[in-house]
Chain A
C-alpha cells in the first residue's frame, strides 16, 4: 500500500522561505515521478511542479517558476519543494502525488498547510 506523507508546512512571513518534504513508502520510489499540487482555502486544485523519476525533467507552473525548486533524494525516498520569496497567494495546502511515467496522480499524500502572513 503506497503512502505519501508531507511535512514542513507552517506559518511564514512574506518574502521568507520554507522547505516541504514528502516521504514515500510502499512503492519503489526511484521508479516514480512526483508532482506538487496545491489548493488555496476554498479554491480548486493548482498544479505546481513535476519531477521525473530520475530527476532528468522538471517543470513548473508560471506562478512559481523562479521561486520554487522541486527536487528528490532517491536514497531517502523523499521529495522536496523549496519555496522562496513566499507571497500571500502561496497560502495553500500542498499535496505531493505520484506519476508512473504514463499516468499521474494515482497516489496522494494528506497535504501540509502553508500560510504566508505577516
Chain B
C-alpha cells in the first residue's frame, strides 16, 4: 500500500521554527486530512493533531497543523530540545480502504 511522503529529516536551531510536510493524494490527505504524531525513541507515538488540525488536550500550542490540497503540514514554533523526535502523519485512504502512515521525519534541534 502506498504511504504518505515525508522528508527524512529536518534540522533547525533552538527556538527556531520547523515546518514538516506530508504529501498524499486526493484519496487520502486531500479529502480526509491528516493526523500528526510524535514519537520519542523507545516510546509509543503521541497524537499532536487530529485530522481536522485541532490539537488534543494537553498538546502545546507550539504545534500547529494545516493542509493545502494534498499536502499536510505541521509547524513547530520555538523549537525546544524535547522536540527532537520522529514525526509521522497518517490519513484514511478511501481508495485503499485503509489507513496509511507517512514515512516519518526525524527532527533535530541544533
Contacts and interface: CB of A to CB of B under 8 A. Distances in A.
Do A and B pair up? The answer is: yes
Interface string A34-59: 01010000001111001000000001
Contact of A44 (B35, B97, B101): B101
Contacts of A45: 37, 39, 45, 88, 90, 101, 104
Interface residues of B, number: 25
Given A61-B1, A62-B1, A47 B98 contact: yes
B46 interface: yes
B109 interface: no
A117 interface: no
Nearest to B44: A108
Nearest to B51: A103
B contact patch SS: strand
Interface of A: 35, 37, 44-47, 50, 59-63, 95, 97, 102-106, 108-111
A50 B101 CA distance: 14
B65 to A, nearest CB: 12
A59 to B, nearest CB: 5
A108 B46 contact: yes
The 9 closest A-B pairs by CB, nearest first: A47-B99, A44-B104, A108-B44, A103-B50, A45-B101, A105-B47, A62-B1, A45-B88, A59-B97
B88 A44 contact: yes
A100 B10 CA distance: 32
A62 B98 CA distance: 9
Contacts of B51: 103-104
